[in-house]
Structure 1
Amino acid sequence: MQQKVLILTGKLSESSGKFVVDVKDMPEPGPGYVLVEVHAAALNPIDCAMADTGLFVKEWPLTLGFDAAGVVKKLGEGVTHFAVGDKVMHAGTHVDPAVFTFQQYVVMRAEFVAKVPSNITLDQAATIPLTMATAALGLYDKKQKPFGGIGLTPPWEEGGRGKYAGEPIVILGGASGVGQHAIQFAKISGFSPIITTASTSNEEYLKSLGATQVVDRNLPLSELSSLVKQITDKPVKYGFGAIGTPDAQDALYDVVASGGQLLLVKQPTIDEAKLAKGDKYVGRVFADVHLPAQQEVGRGLYAHLTRLVEAGDIKPTKLEVLPNGLAGIPEGLQRLKKGVSALKFVARPQETP
């Protein structure tokens, strides 16, 4: 059987680059894999970066996509914890470009697939995997280079839920997909206060996710430290930079107390003179549970993800469904590049004309 896929022929910044809806053979699940009929695929900024610059691309043409939800259609040898017909969600991986999600069917390693509980839709489920894993790996993966976390105890492990009660945390970019899930994990872990930056229009929404204070992102970053001190007199030992501009990174570094830890989603650009002091740990997260060094945390995360979502601990992001299935993704990526707030675009590959 064949399926429809969205193919990018080359970098969009070059004349050879364009999106094309094409047809190719459906994949077959090998041992330990499942075949998923993709009903919803979410767009992420990493898709824009790869399309524009060729970031992480080893060869063209390429199918993009890092978020998916759908229905299990076939089980590979040895897979026993899923059944045909199960609704599931998962993320694509740089480790194997064949499993990117802008296609109608995809094979995925079963240990990094989670069942979708009945309290959310497949469209909603597709908004969760990538940004959720970024937040979880950043907070709970071990300290390691070049990519790792800050080594906190995961809330799905014994003694992890609420372990950091009374500890303040500052999360820059709370309305981003990663920021929203960082707030939710911080709440489960017990952090308080949970201070984040965002536009005032998103304040109530972010507080519904667990933020206790929302600092207007339009205020000068130079004022962030003093504003945080007005909220809490405790030293801030933990910072999460869900946005990665140089001035934002510097501001977050200044907020975190000596001996503290901060986590960044982009390459650190913090002032070298500050880093030379060596009194704060700076980690950088890379959101791929398939990476060998991150699989241990990834397995624990996916083993408990269904229950976390079912309990409302982890919530989907607000979404907008794009028209025309895979054919609507290119325009969605253009809109995403222009900037959206507290929103994910979702395509339905099965609705491709």
Structure 2
Amino acid sequence: MWLVINKGTMPKALIFPKKRGNFKVGSRSISSPGTGQLLVKIRSAALNPVDYKIRDTGISVTHCPVISGVDIAGIVQELGEGVENFRKGNKVLAHGNFSIIDQGAFQRLEGVNYITGYIASQIPSNQSFDSAATVPLGEQSGSRDTPSLSEKPIVILGGSSSVGSYTIQLARLSGFYPVVTTASPNNEDLVMGYGATHFFDRHLSGNQLAAAISKVTDSPIRIVFDTISLPETQSEDEGKGRKAVSTIGSPHLPHNHELFRSSWAMVEKWLSKGIIQPNNHEILPNGLEGIIGGLERMRMGQVSGTKLVAHPQETQ
């Protein structure tokens, strides 16, 4: 995906000008769409932990300034040469790419996106821009990490997170059973609604959780998917037949193209039929400026079971 604008315009964008620099609203001027790409006006952009982590750590930052944000929903404005599956006026959701300049989601209404076929899908009529914007990163990360193991158990740490919620739903679709997850007690109904078969308090120690799971299934647990990935959610990865594997659910990586081309083709159907439920969401005020406070709330652990969504076009 390429985030661009019409030539000669200067849209607002939320940027950090250097590694570990402060976020600020500025202006960007870029070029027009190319072959196989779409020009899309952004209407809703959702926030993810990665949006502040890349700023805080400098990881994956190969250029500056950076426009971050990966969850996008908007309207097709223009078609590049060779585009066959989209039309002007289509409402689409898409996966941005902060690792390449001008491909992030946090731009104003004039901001637009170049989208290739394996990172975009039409938004069905039963979904809003806001609900659709909660889908791309979480659903794609979940699809990357839930291979089909019918009737095999899976444990998902952090089921109320965005990635966790979509992993639960995709695990259910893939035939895993039981689907065991952890979350805060106040999010038990939420994760069970997504399709988890068993819930446990995330505050249980590793030994306590293992003992609780042993009462649920006699089958060996072959997959534990950690959607939080903080030190307190990690366990030993050596010996006893255990192996920790880091996965990146990005459709922009060449080796993921075919996988995501297939999964993106199903997103519209899944949403339309209610097979996949978007995240609960909260609308942030003040457009791009509101994203700064939203990211700080996420950093402080003040967001739970909800996706924060901004409207770039409301930037003053």
Please say whether Structure 1 and Structure 2 have the same fold, judged by a TM-score greater than 0.5: yes
Residue 40 of structure 1 aligns with an amino acid whose one-letter code is S
Quick check: 65-74 or 214-223, which moved more? 214-223
Q: Which moved more, 1:63-72 or 1:21-30?
A: 21-30
Structure 1, unmatched stretches of 5+, are 140-151, 154-162, 251-269
Distance (Å, rounded) in 2 between the aligned partners of 1:33 and 1:242: 31
Q: 4+ runs of 1 displaced by more than 3 Å?
A: 279-282
SS at match of 2:24: strand
Q: Give me the TM-score of the superposition, normalised by structure 1.
A: 0.82
Equivalent residue, structure 2, for 1:131? 138
Q: How much does 1:296 deviate?
A: 0.9
Instruction: Report if the CA contact (8 A) 2:69-2:98 is conserved.
Output: no
Conservation of the 8 A alpha-carbon contact between 1:95 and 1:291: no
| Contact 1:116 1:306 (C-alpha < 8 Å) held by counterparts | yes
- 1:332 is matched with 294
Contact preservation (8 Å) 1:45, 1:336: yes
Relative to the length of structure 2, the TM-score reads 0.91
Match of 1:110 among 103, 112, 116: 116
CA drift of 1:201 comes to 0.6
1:294 is matched with which residue?
A: 256
CA distance in 2, matches of 1:214, 1:227: 10
| Counterpart selection for 1:33 from 28, 33, 37 | 37
Does residue 345 of the first structure (1) align with residue 308 of the second (2)?
A: yes
Distance in 1 (CA, whole Å) between partners of 2:245 and 2:97 is 21
Q: Deviations over 1:131-188 (max 9, x none)?
A: 111111122xxxxxxxxxxxx24xxxxxxxxx61x32111111111111111000111
Could you tell me how far 1:288 is from its partner in structure 2? 1.1
Q: Over residues 25-63 of structure 1, what are the superposed CA-to-partner deviations in whole Å (9 max), with x where a residue is unaligned?
A: 354111011011000001110011111121111122211
**2:162 is aligned with 1:199:** no
Q: Partner of 2:10 in structure 1?
A: 2
The structural deviation recorded for 1:6 is 1.2
Q: CA deviation at 1:116?
A: 0.5
Contact 1:3 1:26 in 2 (8 A): no
User: 2:267 matched to 1:305?
Assistant: yes
- Flag structure 2 segments of 5+ consecutive residues without an equivalent: 1-8
Deviation, structure 1 residue 238: 2.3
Cα contact 2:79–2:88 (8 A) shared by 1: yes
Deviation at 1:221, TM superposition (A): 2.0
Shift of 1:93: 1.9
Q: Does 1:208 align with 2:170?
A: no
Residue in 1 that maps onto 2:5:
none
Partner Cα distance (2:31, 2:73) in 1: 17
3-state SS of 1:38 partner: strand
Counterpart in the other structure of 1:265: none
On the 8 A contact 2:66/2:98 being kept in 1, the answer is no
Distance 1:238 1:19, change over 3 A: closer
CA RMSD, 1 decimal:
1.6
Match of 1:74 among 74, 78, 83: 78
Matched residue type, 1:120: Q
Instruction: Tell me the secondary structure at the aligned position of residue 127 of structure 2.
Output: coil
Q: Is the 8 A contact 2:42 2:312 kept in 1?
A: yes
Residue 41 to residue 189, structure 1, CA distance change in 2 (3 Å): same
Contact 2:141 2:249 in 1 (8 A): yes
2:3 match? none
Paired amino acid for 1:348: H
Out of 147, 154, 158, the position equivalent to 1:169 is: 154
Q: Is the 8 A contact 1:135 1:182 kept in 2?
A: yes
Q: Secondary structure at the match of 2:215?
A: helix
Residue 209 of structure 2: aligned partner:
224
Q: Size of the alignment, in residue pairs?
A: 304
